[in-house]
Amino acid sequence: MKHFKTITELYTFNGFPPPENPLLGLVTFEDIRGCKFVETEFTLGFYKIALKKVKSGNVMYGRTKYDHENGSMFFLKPNQIIQMNDIELTEKGFMIYIHEDFLINHSLHSSIQKYGFFDYETNEALHLSPSEEETLWELFNKIKGEYYNNQDEFSKDIILTHIDSILKYSQRFYKRQFLNRNVLSGTTVSKFTEVLKLYFENGSFQKNGLPTVKYMAERLNLSSRYLSDLLKQETGKTALEHIHIALVMEAKNILMSTDKTVAETAYELGFENPPYFSRLFKKEVGLTPTEYREQFLN
């Protein structure tokens, strides 16, 4: 598998004109018309933000196919596996490559981690309306103007401010996408509940312990981050919180139907630390396990 450690290395391999800054690359599809893309699996040692319109061919990212709908944004963090085959792009689109070293001494160095869509799969791409696409193009063009205009001591901060704006707008547009896909969201919540219920009923819990968010996401063909963000938008709770709610329901059944102690209940539910189980129970129910049981004995 090919790994591109630097932006310059990627540009050279693909026959792109060299970047103005080795830590930051800007490409429009018009700039690279006729260039050949990598026809193999590869990874990047830097971030990538892209607005892509694919006419034909396949893009694989995280082992899933890229969603070809026009006006799709997607976001890659370093070391994610990408594969491209027989790609033909439309003329309108852009790519921004950002090495982590370019973010040093700027707030984006840490805050970029909070943008969950860098962990989404490409079949969870952001689909833009024409007005949303125009907003992002305006920001890209401001970055491009600064990038090619004799960079000075102000350039880096101005460029990173615009990149952060692209990320903030993308987060806003994803919220809109979640809201506009209520049918999908509702179906996901129902399927999530069904998978969780089956997990407890078929004895998987006793064998394997509490299901992870990754396990649940794989059963629903979603990435862990996208699943949590989708559930959070629809229900106000993340995937992990939903798992904890199911666990507490199971704990209630044990407390009400057996004479097991709180510690025994915790161990049966896979907790090695009973006090942690009690804290989780109280957080969800508002009562400790002992208080919950006692209210039905009085």
Q: What is the pLDDT of residues 64-119, one digit of tens each?
A: 554 445 557 888 888 777 766 555 555 678 999 999 999 988 899 888 988 877 77
Q: Write down the mean pLDDT value for the chain.
A: 80
Question: Which residue pairs from 149-158 have beta carbons closer than 8 angstroms and sit at least 24 positions apart in sequence?
Answer: 151/20, 151/21, 156/102, 156/106, 157/106
pLDDT band at 186 (very low <50, low <70, confident <90, very high): low
Cα torsion 3, 86, 136, 167: sign: negative
Q: For 219-230, write each residue's pLDDT tens digit.
A: 887 878 878 887
Q: On the CB side of 15, how many CA atoms lie within 13 Å of its CA? A: 7
Q: For 7-55, write each residue's pLDDT tens digit.
A: 999 888 888 888 999 999 998 877 776 555 555 677 889 999 988 765 5
Q: For 228-275, write each residue's pLDDT tens digit.
A: 887 877 677 788 888 888 888 888 888 888 888 999 988 888 777 889
% of the chain with per-residue pLDDT over 90: 21
The one-letter code for the residue type at 77 is K
The rounded distance, in Å, linking the Cα atoms of 43 and 22 is: 17
Determine whether domain 2-180 maps to CATH 3.90.550.
no
Q: Which two tokens stand for residue 29?
A: 């599809």
The one-letter code for the residue type at 105 is N
pLDDT, position 196: 82
Q: Which two tokens stand for residue 214?
A: 């990754």
Domain limits of the chain?
Answer: 2-180, 183-294
pLDDT band at 183 (very low <50, low <70, confident <90, very high): very low
The residue among 43 and 124 whose pLDDT is bigger is 43
Tell me how far the alpha carbon of residue 33 is from its chain's centroid.
Answer: 30
CB atoms inside a 10 Å sphere around CB 222: 23
Output the CATH code of domain 183-294: 1.10.10.60
Nearest CA-CA partner of 26 in 34, 13, 17:
17
pLDDT, position 9: 92
Is the pTM value of this prediction over 0.85?
no
